[in-house]
Structure 1
Amino acid sequence: MVDHEEQNPFLAPSPEFLATVPVFPLIPALKKDVTRTIDSALTWDQLTAADISFTIVRPILFKYAKLKNMAVVYACLVNRAYFLEQSKDDLAYAGVMMSRAILCEILAMKLLNHFASNYITLVAVLTTSWSPLAGASPEVVEEVKQMLGNNAIVSDADSALEVAISTHAKRFISSTVTQKVVNDMYSGRVVFSSATSSNRSMLADNYKPRAITIYDCRDYPLLDHYRLRVPRYGAILEFLNFACLLITFVLCLSNENRTQITFWEGVFLVFAAAFMLEEYTAATEHGWIIYIANMWNVFDTSFVVVVLCYMGMRIRGLSCDDPKYSELAFDVLACGACILFPRLAFFAVSNNVVILSLRAMISEFIFFMSIAVICFSGLLFTLWTLGKDKWTIQGICWLMTQIWFGNSSLSFTQAESFHPFFGPILMTTFAALSNTLLLTILISILSNTVARIDSNATQEHLFQFTISTIEGVKADALFSYQPPFNLLAFAVLKPASYVVTPRTLHTLNVFLIKSTSFPILIVIGLYERYFAAGQSLRETSVDAAHTLFNSLPRQIKNMPFVEALVGSTSNNLYEAIFELEGSIGPPLFEESDEEEDNHPQLRSVASHESLPSAGVRRQPSRVSLAPPSPFRATSPARSASPRRRRPLSALDVGAASAELTQGSRSPLARLFAYNDPPPPAAGPSGQGQIEGSIRRVEAIVDDLRAMPVHKLKEEMREVQERQARIEQLLLTLTRGMRSTDTESRLK
């Protein structure tokens, strides 16, 4: 058992401690328990239902929660990846494997909640790069190496968040606990360094790994180069880089020269090369699966392909002195505007449902169009066979495309040019299918896709948000350089990494970052110290604004525009009232132990055997099980005010006792009826009244003893014995019938 709570709860787990956490034993153990538990196909709603969750999920959850192993969430997600892969290979049990994968995601979500009490530990559970072979025996490691045949793959490590992204565990990612960590990573409140594998990083600088801490600007220098890796600032800088790339793109096309490279074309080539290096670094660092899962990276990859085609044709045109290739290169580059302009605009509307569903719609559209092309390829060949004397393949394809997208008149005007009899029949059929049937189906498919994405828009948005956050906090050194300075850093630091020590490389890297990003670091440092939320200058400005607003006349403050701009003051009033709780004067009700006993509560009532003997006097319970007596209903102390009732006098006690002895109430009702304890009275008369009250209580206890409780218990015991005899008789008869049936079958 690994007890992470032995660590200081205010400090992050040390790298030495994390290296000792066993990971490998959890993976086969979870696989065995999940496989043994799930034998049928169940959906997410069925697995999260109360009955199945209580009988299936809770036993496994408590079993692994007792281990207090920080890698258990990672192990659950690794098993999810395994079952998802098995569902693709074993089609006969695909539903069962999907159910097991869903159960692994549910277990990961619930086990993650067990670490939420310690926030630093929670961050470590999600962000630590775990090795799946940690804790395995040397024999197991050697066997895995022999199976893979590649030692580099064995040393790879991923975090729980990265495995969740690669397995599309969107419910796990969109959970409240996970998003709390992701939001703090995005805003830079949580600071940590992720160790980068040397075989996946373009330029790794892990000389000074940092433990997980809560960021405080007062503990760090003004020029903190690590703040350039904060995803929040990275998104702003990325927008500015795209704006610069777009400006140079427009200027390059506006000043094109087919015979030589102009100044703006050279500037664009530098920015384009820096952009391609940044995208290649991201794809290499995070892996292609995680990289391409982000919808925006699809646009970036498409623009990279356009730029590469442009460069190839431009180089050929200049080297061969052929203006045609240069003209074609600029034409291809102009097509990149269809990608670059929307990419920049999507920064402002990235959370829109239409944007989130755009990728799924494009996928569905391409799939449907591919099926349509395959289906109508036979018609294309038929039309070419019938009219090959007048038509070419390209002409027929263009004609069919026009008809497909709504120009149905061509199907009637050009039908006879293929064949006087079969031409009109084929073209009319094609027009009817394309415009009436298939386009309607396509619109329905896209509408259903939008509706499906709309229902899961929150999960999809949080999934994309988590991907961009993970990409921003990775430790590749080139991410700290803004284009085009990343080209300079790559040209200087990459060759130096082979010859200098890690410390020298780190020093050179920090110097280049601070030199090339000096203005940006100054702006970030000043913002976090004076203008960020919680800083003194911002709080002072907010207080001054509130003071100015409060000094305005009531007519101005109640104007709809001002109220909509500043906000309603009702919430401030309510908050002030609750903050002053405890200092608003004397309490309305006096609180004491006696009054707490007066409140009706559920209490255990002693049985007949546990009642005190005659020599022991027991105070009656204060829970009234009978309706209030007329005496208490007309008591002036009870009807005058809601304050504490006055003590009853001896005369009142006597009247109440006399009333209790009358009527037809049962002994239980007389025992548990509410009565205030009489105050001690001075004199012989008071002593006699107290003794009379005690004798009445003793009489009630004697009545309780005379109740037929023992007789009732004996009758219940007899009923149970009779039921047991009947069950034994039925069991005997059933066995006899089974033996008779067996003998008859044997005969």
Structure 2
Amino acid sequence: MDREHQSLLAPSPEFLASVKVFPLIPSLKKDVIKTIDSTLSWDQLTASDINFSIVRPIVAKYARLKNMAVVYACLVVRSYFLSESESDLAYAGVMQSRATLCEILAMKLLSRFASNHIQLVAVLTTRWNPLAGAAFEIVEQVKHSLGGDEEDMDAPQSALEMAISTQAKAFLSSPVSQKVVNDIHYGRIVFTVSANRSILSDNYKPKAIELYNSRTSPFIDHYRLRVPVYGAILEFLNFALLLLSLVLCLSNQDKAKLTPWEMIFILFAGAFTLEEYTSSTEHGWIIYMANLWNVFDFSFVAIFLGYLMFRIQGLHHNDIEASTLAFDILSCGACILFPRLAFFAVSNNVVILSLRAMVSQFVFFIGIAAICFSGLLFTLWTLGKDQPNDPWTFKSIAWLLTQIWFGNSSLSFSVASSFHPVFGPILMISFAALSNTLLLTILISLLSNTVARIDANATQEYLFQFAISTMERVKSDALFSYQPPFNVLAFMILKPASFVLSPRALHSFNVFLIKLTSLPILIIIGLYERYFAAGQRLRESGIGAAQSLFNSLPRHIKNMPLVEALVGSTTNELYEAIFDVEISSEFEFFEESDDEFHTLRSLHSRENLRLPPSPTPRRQKRPASIDPPLRETPQRNSPRSRAISSLSPLAPVAPEISASSARSPLAMLFGQRMASPTDPHTVASVEASVKRIEALMEDMRDLPVQRLNDEMKELQDRQARIENLLLVLTRGMRNETSRHDAIP
């Protein structure tokens, strides 16, 4: 197999298992600590001077290793500095700067793998073990610090999962990372994540990373159920069925017995609970809760479990009050499911992102305020419980404070003296002033800053949430291939079978059960990808027929506002057609010699330049005869021409060129073009070359090295002037001292 074909293949599992990960972590930590010792912002760390002096040398150092786990190691070190910034507040700014540098290094190093797309996917999606390549003593020390449990040591994660857990939003929103995330989301890249924390794992036949081709893959492919874009559509349908069953259950409730609609709802809600629990188990609680919509899903699961507990109690003991409370709790779930389904299609919109951030900030602020005013609640309860006429209860005081908090301040003045004639008015007026002026003002400011921050980084926040939702749907648990409520059936059948069947038999039975329960969905996906997806023949032929039909329409119909809004303006098509035409040389205004101007190049870094060794010029043996004299060429009389002819050893107007000057580097460079000095084209090309060299010399004056040289000269001049001034002052002081000594 040739090398070019090997470069298109994904890394083998044996190669990925042999990659050393642990040595990278302490090395990166040491280099980052040695480099950053002050608080720097993101703009300062990405500035040209810091990038040239700090970032690029570190990137060049670790890029030479060609270790695919280096991006993951950078994000692991970032997590360490983030945890240190929370524990060591004195150096929190420095730790944050070091964490930011780790994210920048991960972005720079990731671009080194961008030439091979499949290798890039392997770098981001492979789950690395942080202890891979560590010595036995180090493994034992880590095991001892974890309490001696080997299961805690087996917790591999991918670079994308580490970026989500450390909230590396700039890394995830970079074009290289988003290219991989988009390919995963739309199923253009196919890979299998090994299940290590799954409830029902099926690791018998893992799929290597490959580019998906619908023409060569099987028509009914059960792996397509794990494609995130199809998973999002199926999840929307599952939410719709769950909401429909909830509405029918609450509309036909019977407190004495179970109705058919209630049993259907319990089945769908149980399947939804199992799916959420499996998702949180596989990806971990941090990644699961990073998506704010999962907070709402978890809240509905808690409501359903509360309903189920009271409903079972009511049916078992024939308790009507418990059943009534169960349905009351369940009715609160509609407050979550209705907006959850409505916002599902626009979950990553800027307005929704701002709303989610504001909700989280509001809940956090209300929690802090409740803790702060819990002391006031206890004080008022202590003062009001001993009142002989109308003692205050704990519940009534809490409801009173809630009303005052949300704007009903008049209640605080009317009931203040009922707690205590002296302390009651003081406490209630203080609480009303704090809640309605100070705290509400702080809350509004916090929410405004949250919206401004989200709007400023709307694209970055959107791509971050998009990466979270994509990685959540790339799940390795076998239960995710089943649609609710079939996942409950699969769990009840396959979980006991996993203890009896061999891995191969379990895999075969699992694939058969998936295809049996999801056969209509797999047929629809197969038909879509082969005939209706982008790039397929049927879609292209349909678009071509529609385009030809539109072109055959009269011009006044094409220019109708409604048709132009639906189809698009024909002016854009005109512009696109212009650039598709091949232009012949007769339409060009300029000659090729006029296009000789400087171009800008973008290289990764200076260490990537591999200049070939310049061969040592051999001295040609000159004949014994004297060289023929050079013919004089007509030269211009302008001062610029005279200056060029006096400075340049290549000037065609200098007849005094000796043999030594003809072998200079510039003469060797342009020697082949000066074969015939009398040729006008040769003279013109030499003059153009001299002009380009002059332009290059002018550009060199603006380089940072030249500016640094000028600044050093200026500093030397200043130092000389200061020394002269000090010398004059010391001489004057010596003269004054001698005069005072001379006075008797």
Query: If the TM-score is normalised by the length of the shorter chain, which range does it land in?
Result: 0.7 to 0.9
Which of residues 358, 362, 371 is equivalent to 1:361?
A: 358
Q: Which residue of 2 aligns with 1:311?
A: 308
1:253-268 mapped onto 2 (5 Å cutoff): 253-268=250-265
CA distance in 1, matches of 2:554, 2:250: 58
Cα deviation for residue 289 of structure 1 reads 0.8
Report the 3-state secondary structure (helix = DSSP H, G, I; strand = E; otherwise coil) of the residue aligned with 2:152.
helix
**Quick one: structure 1 residues 302 and 310, their matched pair in 2 at CA, closer, same or farther if it must change by over 3 Å?**
same
In structure 2, the partner of 1:176 is 175
Q: Which residue of 2 aligns with 1:555?
A: 556
Aligned equivalent of 1:110:
108
> For residue 214 of structure 1, what is the amino acid of its counterpart?
L
Distance 2:54 2:638 in 1: 57
In 2, distance between residues paired with 1:303 and 1:286? 20
Tell me how far 1:19 sits from its aligned partner. Answer: 1.6
Aligned twin of 1:667 = 642
CA contact under 8 A between 2:644 and 2:651: conserved in structure 1? no
Partner amino acid, structure 1, of 2:223: Y
- Residue 210 of structure 1 corresponds to 207
Give percent identity, aligned residues only. Answer: 66
Measured in 2, the distance between the counterparts of 1:461 and 1:262 equals 43
Aligned pairs (5 A) from 1:249-398: 249-388=246-385, 389=387, 390=390, 391-398=392-399
1:59–1:674 distance in 2 versus 1, CA, 3 Å: closer
Cα offset, 1:157, TM superposition: 1.3
- Give the Cα–Cα distance (whole angstroms) in 1 for the partners of residues 41 and 172 of structure 2: 19
Which string of whole-angstrom CA distances, capped at 9 and with x for unpartnered residues, describes residues 692-740 of structure 1?
x9xx9xxxxxxxxxxxxxxxxxxxxxxx9xx99x99xx89x99xx9xxx
* Structure 2: tracts of 5 or more residues without a match: 600-621, 654-676, 684-712, 731-744
Q: Which residue of 1 aligns with 2:535?
A: 534
Deviations 1:656-685 (A, max 9, x none): x4xx57677763467899999xxxxxxxxx
Kept in 1: contact 2:348–2:465 (CA 8 A): no
**Size of the alignment, in residue pairs?**
636
Distance in 2, Cα, partners of 1:516 & 1:369: 46
Aligned to 1:187: 186
The alignment partner of 2:7 has SS state of coil
2:16 aligned partner: 18
1:154 corresponds in structure 2 to 153
**Aligned partners of 2:640 and 2:138: how far apart in 1?**
79
Residue 220 of structure 2 is matched in structure 1 by 223
Amino acid at match of 1:49: A
Q: How far has the Cα of 1:575 moved from its partner?
A: 2.4
User: In structure 1, how many angstroms separate the alpha carbons of the residues matched to 2:165 and 2:230?
Assistant: 25
**2:348/2:466 contact within 8 Å kept:** no
Question: Structure 2 residue aligned with 1:239, among 236, 240, 246?
Answer: 236
Q: Which amino acid aligns with 2:152?
A: I
C-alpha separation in 1, matches of 2:406 and 2:347: 30
Query: 1:51 Cα shift?
Result: 0.9
Which residue of 1 is the match for residue 460 of structure 2?
Answer: 459
What is the Cα deviation at residue 168 of structure 1?
A: 0.9
User: Hey, what's the Cα distance between the residues in 2 that align with 1:522 and 1:661?
Assistant: 82
Give the superposition deviation at 1:447: 1.5
Residue of structure 1 equivalent to 2:405: 404
Q: Deviations over 1:30-72 (max 9, x none)?
A: 1111111111121211111111111111110101111111111
Mapped partners of 2:638, 2:33: distance in 1 = 68
Report the CA distance between 1:567 and its aligned residue. Answer: 1.2
Q: What residue identity is the alignment partner of 2:129?
A: S
Aligned equivalent of 2:694? none
What SS does structure 2 have at the residue aligned with 1:397?
helix
- Could you tell me whether the CA contact under 8 Å between 1:7 and 1:13 is conserved in 2? no
- 1:295, 1:464 within 8 Å by CA — same for their partners in 2? no
TM-score by length of 2: 0.80
C-alpha displacement of 1:368: 2.4
CA distance in 1, matches of 2:20, 2:631: 60
Q: Secondary structure at the match of 1:8?
A: helix
Aligned residue number for residue 121 of structure 2: 123
Q: Is 2:37 the partner of 1:62?
A: no
Alignment pair present for 1:505 and 2:503:
no
Report deviation, 1:562.
1.5
User: Closer, same or farther in 2 for the Cα pair 1:150/1:663, shift >3 Å?
Assistant: closer
Q: Give the C-alpha shift of residue 568 in structure 1.
A: 1.8
What's the CA shift for 1:359?
3.5
For residues 160-183 of structure 1, give each alpha carbon's deviation from its aligned partner in whole angstroms, at most 9, with x where no partner exists. 111111111111011110001000
Matching residue's letter, 1:125? V
Q: Residue type of the partner of 1:246?
A: L
What is the CA-CA distance between 1:135 and the residue it aligns to? 2.0
The SS at the match of 1:552 is: coil
Q: Tell me the TM-score normalized by structure 1.
A: 0.79
> Separation in 2 of the partners of 1:193 and 1:212?
8
SS at the partner of 2:206? coil
Against the structure 1 CA distance between its residues 393 and 218, is the aligned structure 2 distance closer, same or farther, given a 3 Å change threshold?
Answer: same
Distance (whole Å) between structure 2 residues aligned to residue 244 and residue 90 of structure 1: 49
1:393 aligned partner, one-letter code:
F
Matched, 1:525 2:526: yes
Which residue of 128, 134, 139 corresponds with 2:132? 134
Q: CA deviation at 1:378?
A: 4.3
